[in-house]
Structure 1
Amino acid sequence: MVVNPQFPTCPIRNVLAKTCEPDTLWVIQSIGSWGSMTYDELLHYVADYKLCASLANLIQDRIITKDSDMYHLTPIGQELFPHISTLVSWCYANLL
């Protein structure tokens, strides 16, 4: 996990600071739901500059990996995915 300089000793804040960007959560949820996605598939829903930043952070944090033209969740990403799915379900049930 890449350490956020503002919170170098807090693992929870480091994870949240890196993954709780709206586009980043969406990327994890989408790749996890579909199993894998191409850049072009992801680009249909996220602006190019935001997608590039999200993908770079997720690769650096070992949450996703790129294999040929496909992005996949790593084992760490697969472990994180159900928690994000639960958060998405909670949002739909309580905030819409």
Structure 2
Amino acid sequence: MNRTTIEDAVFPDCPIRNIMARISDKWSLLVIYTLDKSEKEPVRFKELQRQIPDISQKMLTVTLRTLEEDGYVTRTIYPEVPPRVEYSLTERAKSLLPHINSLIGWALENAGAIIKDRKEANRR
């Protein structure tokens, strides 16, 4: 999937689909949430990778670049040997956090019923 150009075939000038597609992919919300919940901010790449053990190095890199392009994450590079790179949330991402937390709360409240419905649907 081209992560930079997502257009709605019916409404190509509508930016909402583009924005929603980029933040609701498999990893973006999890990376934002993990950066927020990190005890120390900013967070180095390897620490972020340790906190999300099932994400590959390549996918984490792609996700962080996309979040940086959209203004959710700031990347700071320190001219050291070896180079040190740290990531932190921008104010835009912080303004998204209450919505992410609401979604997590909703998922927790409804998880049991959703799993039950899935099992019933699979039995049919």
Q: Say yes or no: TM over 0.5.
A: yes
Q: 1:1-96 maps to which residues of 2 (within 5 A)? A: 4-7=5-8, 8-34=12-38, 35-44=41-50, 45=52, 46-68=55-77, 69-96=85-112
Query: Shift of residue 43 of structure 1?
Result: 1.2
2:120 maps to none
Q: Runs of 5+ in structure 2 lacking a partner?
A: 78-84, 113-124
Greater helix fraction, Structure 1 or Structure 2: 1
Query: Shift of residue 3 of structure 1?
Result: 6.2
Kindly indicate whether structure 1 or structure 2 has the higher relative contact order, using CA contacts under 8 Å at least 6 residues apart.
1
Contact 1:4–1:17 (Cα < 8 Å) also in 2: no
Question: Which whole-Å deviations, capped at 9, do the CAs of 1:30-86 have from their partners, x for residues lacking one?
Answer: 112224321101112221111011001000001100124221111111111221121
State the SS of the aligned residue for 2:27.
Answer: helix
Query: Shift of residue 91 of structure 1?
Result: 1.2
Identity of aligned residues (%): 28
Q: 1:86 to 1:11 in 2, by over 3 A?
A: same
CA distance in 2: counterparts of 1:85 and 1:38, whole angstroms = 23
Deviates more, 1:32-41 or 1:22-31: 32-41
Contact 1:37–1:70 (Cα < 8 Å) also in 2: yes
- Runs of 4+ aligned residues of structure 1 deviating over 3 Å after TM superposition are 2-5
